[in-house]
Amino acid sequence: METNKAGTLFVCLSLFSFQAFPADPPPDTKEKAPSENLPPPDTGKGDADSMRAPKGSRKVSQALVKLHDEYESFRESAGNTPVKPETFKSRSALIQVRNGYVAIDAVAADDPEGLRRELEELGAKNLAVYGRVVSGWLPIAAIERLDALSRLQFAAPAYAKTNSGSVDGQGDVAMRSNLARTTFGVDGSGITIGVLSNSFDCLGGAENDIASSNLPSGITVLKDLKDDDRCPPPTDPGVDEGRAMMQIIHDVAPGARLSFHTTGGGQANFAQGILELARAGAKVIVDDWTYYSEPMFQDGVIAQAVDRVVADGVAYFSSAGNSGNASYEAAFSPSGMFKDEGGGFICELHDFDPGPEVNVFQRINVPPGSELTMSFQWDAPSASVQPGAPGAPNDLDVFLYDEAETLVADGKELNIGSDSVEIVSLLNPRESGVSVYKVQITNCGGPNPALIKYVLRGGGIDQFDTASSTIFGHHNAAGTAAVGSAPYRSTPAFGVNPPELDEFSSVGGTPILFDTAGNRNASPEIRYQPLIVAPNDVNTSFFGGTDSEGDGFPNFVGTSAAAPHAAAVAALMREADPSLSPREIYAAMAHTAIDMDDPHSPDFDVGFDFAGGCGLVRADAAIRNSPGAGCPGFRK
């Protein structure tokens, strides 16, 4: 049988019961023997805040409704004391909240500029429009008024995360760019590199970096979070990551000019930032930022902006991400079990077990002290990709339980007609002593997807693991060169040959299934990502978690540190030969790279693989463009 939603559901504030029950299997469902791990009957357990609203409204995401409720509780708790919005913090680290405002992505029903005006009337600031998406900062108190906007189709938080002179970067030696500068007499002069990240100078250290020769003078800042008082707190681990990226670039290409645009404020702001950097003269652009709601199986607005500037001659580099192969994917498998999600929604549970038994739970692990982020998507088009694009024809939800099967987090937006994505985040306290959690997936209406997929950051999969691709969104755009990471110590320059990939470096192979109009492609398009690998775990003057060498400087770890290394090499190449197109730069880097092994496979992988791409970039060989053995199996 097929279950569908009945009518339109608006946000309700009552608890719903968790209830699951078997039913006669539909004719196309395989017969399976029930396992011991079936959903429990209604026990009354569950986090009240997570369960208070069965679904968001048709226009406003559940996450925004919860944020508004949190903010109202914060204001009420102040009593007669004046409220200080800057002291409010969301329970979700993925939601960008600054001084009483929240970064949102709003999708227009038909008139993006009209929606911009409506949002401005609600007090929204710093709005940007790209295609059908309007992004910016909305007063949290105005969330309750979004539902009345005539030109709004739906709105959600802009979920995002970085892929995180007197200091000499070890990456310069690891990829032989020091030799390239002396051999070819290049330093990036005449080339502008545009950098996209969260912030540049919220901590106020840029002037000191220039004085100490860790940054060049004359940096062009097109837009920074501090311009509009949107800086994260100084304790935020990613604050001013853009400046750290620039220090790496300056180590490798000290003659290059630098420009910056923040990625904060939503997907349309990010996309506009790409275009503005290109208009300001950037010939190479690099970013290290992920919006988790970017479509996996279709090019969203950021990917489209990347392809647009690449078509105009800009070489574009992006961090591959830090998720390794922590991804599950499969066809939705009807279990014959149904879950009452409240509000009249009876939703069928996905069966994770590929064998004869039924198992509607999947174990994952989230180490104590870790923050889990899950982007869950399925093979349906998204409405946000362009005006007139169809939304999803089905509505799936995802739930996260602790080991005692108490609900701790969920993603249950109304997806039909909007985007095929659910976002779940969880902070597991260091003192919890708990690491095992359980995932559950439901279909609440529409056809069962032929492909469901989630990508994790901050956790791993313990059961029914498919170890699938984790590069998606603009990192997987046709014009992007995604960059994986290797510790500088694990490269030939430091005695390790072949070089070794970081196991956290994200894996490519995510298929593009739809064009931007929402039409399913005749066959899946597989893009060759990552392109290359570059060093990370290098020194900066201020940014990083630990000082691993004990030399007094913190080390910048992650593909966020690898991407600017590669972008700086591209600037050296462009100075040496200004006629090079982005494709020629990518090809020269790929075919001169040092082959690396995929740590997730048993044997050495010769040539291109979806973990290390074509291997570790060699700056001197890329400029000389002497491919040698090349990169078998690679096409770009």
Instruction: Read off the CATH number of the domain in which 441 is found.
Output: 2.60.120.380
Structure tokens at 176: 């032989």
Domain membership flag for residue 296: yes
Q: What is the pLDDT of residue 548?
A: 80
Q: Are residues 42 and 27 in the same domain?
A: yes
C-alpha 204/C-alpha 222 separation (Å) is 17
Q: Are residues 206 and 283 in the same domain?
A: yes
411 and 424 Cβ atoms separated by less than 8 Å: yes
Q: Write out pLDDT tens, residues 443-458.
A: 999 999 999 999 999 9
Domain membership flag for residue 175: yes
83 and 359 Cβ atoms separated by less than 8 Å: no
Q: Which domain holds residue 532?
A: 162-324+470-624
Domain membership flag for residue 358: yes
Q: What is the pLDDT of residue 544?
A: 83
Using the 3D structure, point to which of 429, 461, 493 is the last residue of a domain. Answer: 461
Per the structure, how many domains does the chain have? 3
Q: Are residues 26 and 92 in the same domain?
A: no
C-alpha 238/C-alpha 96 separation (Å) is 12
What residues does 377 pair with on adjacent strands?
A: 421, 453
Domain membership flag for residue 542: yes
**The pLDDT of residue 194 is above 60:** yes
Domain membership flag for residue 583: yes
According to DSSP, the β-strands at 480-487 and 315-319 are parallel
Structure tokens at 168: 């000499």
* Residue 486's pLDDT band (cuts 50, 70, 90): very high
Across all residues in the chain, what is the average pLDDT?
Answer: 89
Domain membership flag for residue 3: no
Handedness of CA 627, 632, 635, 636 (dihedral sign): negative
C-alpha 633/C-alpha 448 separation (Å) is 34
Of 407, 435, 391, the residue nearest 339 (C-alpha): 407
DSSP code per residue over 148-191:
G-TTEEEEEE--EEE----S--THHHHTTHHHHHHHHT-S-TT-
H or E, element range at 248: helix 241-252
C-alpha 11/C-alpha 489 separation (Å) is 53
194 and 280 Cβ atoms separated by less than 8 Å: yes
Helix axes 177-184, 559-576, angle to 10 degrees: 10
Structure tokens at 470: 């984790």
Q: Write out pLDDT tens, residues 360-382.
A: 999 999 999 999 999 999 999 99
H or E, element range at 437: strand 436-445
Q: What is the pLDDT of residue 168?
A: 57
**The pLDDT of residue 69 is above 80:** yes
Any idea what the CATH number is for the domain that residue 194 is in?
3.40.50.200
Structure tokens at 504: 């956290």
Burial group, residue 499, by CB count within 10 angstroms (0-12, 13-18, 19+)? buried
**The pLDDT of residue 22 is above 50:** no
Using the 3D structure, point to which of 159, 174, 195 is the last residue of a domain. Answer: 159
Percent over 70 (pLDDT), the chain: 89
Helix axes 301-311, 267-279, angle to 10 degrees: 10
Q: Are residues 221 and 307 in the same domain?
A: yes
Structure tokens at 365: 């692990």
75 Cβ contact partners less than 8 Å away, ≥ 6 residues apart: 83
Q: Are residues 452 and 485 in the same domain?
A: no
SS (H, E, C) 515-553: CCCCCEEEEEEECCCCCEEEEECEECCCCCCECCCCCCC
Q: What is the pLDDT of residue 271?
A: 98
Q: Are residues 565 and 580 in the same domain?
A: yes
C-alpha distances (whole Å) from 254 to each of 261, 282, 284, 520, 527 are 20, 16, 14, 46, 32
- Sheet strands (E) in 200-264: 220-223, 257-262
One-letter amino acid at 121 equals: E
C-alpha 493/C-alpha 496 separation (Å) is 7
Percent over 90 (pLDDT), the chain: 77
Question: Which range among 137-151, 234-248, 545-559, 603-617 shows the weakest confidence by mean pLDDT?
Answer: 545-559
**The pLDDT of residue 33 is above 60:** no
Any idea what the CATH number is for the domain that residue 108 is in?
3.30.70
C-alpha 334/C-alpha 389 separation (Å) is 28
* Residue 42's pLDDT band (cuts 50, 70, 90): very low
Domain membership flag for residue 14: no
Q: Are residues 496 and 438 in the same domain?
A: no
C-alpha 376/C-alpha 421 separation (Å) is 6
C-alpha 420/C-alpha 379 separation (Å) is 8
Mean pLDDT of 76-99: 83
290 and 458 Cβ atoms separated by less than 8 Å: no
Q: What is the pLDDT of residue 629?
A: 65
- In angstroms, how far is CA 633 from the centroid of its own chain? 27
Q: Are residues 407 and 300 in the same domain?
A: no
Highest average pLDDT, of 88-92, 122-126, 601-605, comes from: 122-126
What residues does 520 pair with on adjacent strands?
A: 514
489 and 537 Cβ atoms separated by less than 8 Å: yes
For residue 143, the SS3 value is helix
Q: Write out pLDDT tens, residues 203-216.
A: 999 999 999 999 99
Q: Are residues 171 and 283 in the same domain?
A: yes
Mean pLDDT of 459-476: 98
* Residue 545's pLDDT band (cuts 50, 70, 90): confident
- Sheet strands (E) in 41-170: 97-98, 101-108, 125-130, 133-139, 152-157, 160-162
R_g of the chain computed on alpha carbons: 24
Q: What is the pLDDT of residue 581?
A: 97
Domain membership flag for residue 6: no
Using the 3D structure, point to which of 118, 141, 159 is the last residue of a domain. Answer: 159
Q: Are residues 177 and 144 in the same domain?
A: no
* Residue 628's pLDDT band (cuts 50, 70, 90): low
Q: Are residues 205 and 270 in the same domain?
A: yes
pTM: 0.88
Q: Are residues 497 and 605 in the same domain?
A: yes
What residues does 194 pair with on adjacent strands?
A: 259, 285
31 and 322 Cβ atoms separated by less than 8 Å: no
